[in-house]
Structure 1
Amino acid sequence: MKLPKSELRKIYAEKRKSMSSAEVEDLSESIFKQFLGTFDMSKVKNVHIFLPIKQKNEVSTWDFIKYFWDKGISVFVPKMVQNEIKTIQLKPDTLLKENNWGILEPEDDFVEYIKFDIVITPLLYCDNQGNRVGYGKGFYDMFFSKTDHNALKVGVGFFPPTVLISDVSEQDVPLDYLVTPTEVLSFISKSIK
């Protein structure tokens, strides 16, 4: 079965909206454990990760961030500048401010270019070919197209792939991995090891 992104966006935004805070936290913890059980982080130096939009029940990434800091891995997060994702380093003492979309962002200036080992991305849905459905603005696709092609693109989401996306375009950049509360799906032969 195939559905267009617009339909999948509605379905999975509604599913996520219906989740309780406790469910979001529990499932986010399971996703974090799946991630740790799959990826060898011993050689990772730089990770790009999103800060969750709590009111949209996004996967909580704070356990990831604290783990990366504890391991001495540099953490970078997105900051929207003129409808484009820019990169800013996040440290434990970084001051955060909510932007117009309700996303926490560092107040600091962005860094022009960083070679990332892993980019952890939000999503509403991902099919079993690594095609993701976000909020429909294409920000992450643009970001991926400018990111080092060796960086692993890892999506984190609450729901397993059940249907294919019918309207994948040339601008859509597929993920390398999807981490859900119960499994990690690989869409490529790249490895972090």
Structure 2
Amino acid sequence: MLEEKNRLRDIMREKREKLTQKERLSKSETICQNVLSIIKPGETVMGFASKELEVNTEPLLKMLLKNKNPLVMPIIVKEDKSLRLSYLKDLSHLVPSTFGVPEPIGHEIPVPEGAVDVVILPMLAFDKRGGRLGYGSGYYDRFLEKNTDVKKIAVAFACQETEEVPLEDNDVLMDYVITENGVAFKR
């Protein structure tokens, strides 16, 4: 299973790399607008700060702050492969940290257990069942195991769709998969 997942990760990384920076930015803007249409006023949203080739989430994070949705960011804890959560009040508080992922290190505001309503997740591949292929470390899967009531919205470019994501028992299905073409999957 691991070999199959890693092969799919490589294929999807190649597909994503073929997008030009201009295409990525344009598609990302549309994806962010599509996600915003699903989020309700007042919902506490756990976002993520994207890395270079991922869907650029900066427009989404800015709009969530502007709309006064409480915004939570994950901080990677390598020792136990978990996510520590912090509220984010200003995007300038994000600094490159573990794996080069921007995190609010030095500006942490702890988030109480169960405060998150919606989780926006990165991914490398998705399918029409709501299957999501992440990067392989399982940080989000472990978070979702403990937070079963959150609305799960995964974002990707349409070119990252595959026929079937290989899923294991600990893999969590998404409630929504959003691309530049709209809602690719809804539970």
User: What is the TM-score with the length of structure 1 in the denominator?
Assistant: 0.85
**Aligned residue in 1 for 2:154:** 155
Q: How many residues align?
A: 180
Task: Output the CA distance in 1 between the equivalents of 2:28 and 2:91.
Answer: 23
Q: Which structure: greater helix fraction?
A: 2
> In the alignment, residue 178 of structure 2 is paired with which amino acid?
V
SS at match of 1:179: strand
Matches within 5 A, 1:139-150: 139-147=139-147, 149-150=148-149
**Aligned residue in 1 for 2:171:** 172
Runs of at least 4 residues off by over 6 Å: none
> In the alignment, residue 8 of structure 2 is paired with which amino acid?
L
> In the alignment, residue 95 of structure 2 is paired with which amino acid?
K
Q: Which sections of structure 2, spanning at least 5 residues, go unmatched? A: none
- 8 A Cα contact 2:46 2:120, kept in partner: yes
**Aligned residue in 1 for 2:31:** 31
Does residue 64 of structure 2 align to residue 68 of structure 1?
A: yes
Structure 1 residue 41: deviation in Å? 1.7
Task: Output the CA distance in 2 between the equivalents of 1:137 and 1:21.
Answer: 26
Does residue 177 of structure 2 align to residue 181 of structure 1?
A: no
Q: Which sections of structure 1, spanning at least 5 residues, go unmatched? A: 189-193
The one of 94, 103, 111 equivalent to 1:105 is 103
- Deviations for 1:18-74, whole angstroms, at most 9, x for unmatched residues? 22221111010111222234x1523x33000110012xx111111111111111111
Task: Output the CA distance in 1 between the equivalents of 2:49 and 2:39.
Answer: 22
Higher relative contact order (CA 8 A, sep 6+): 1
> In the alignment, residue 120 of structure 2 is paired with which amino acid?
I
Task: Output the CA distance in 2 between the equivalents of 1:163 and 1:23.
Answer: 23
User: What is the TM-score with the length of structure 2 in the denominator?
Assistant: 0.88
Give aligned-pair identity as a percent.
Answer: 29
Distance 1:71 1:21, change over 3 A: same
Task: Output the CA distance in 2 between the equivalents of 1:120 and 1:130.
Answer: 14
SS at match of 1:16: helix
**Aligned residue in 1 for 2:126:** 126
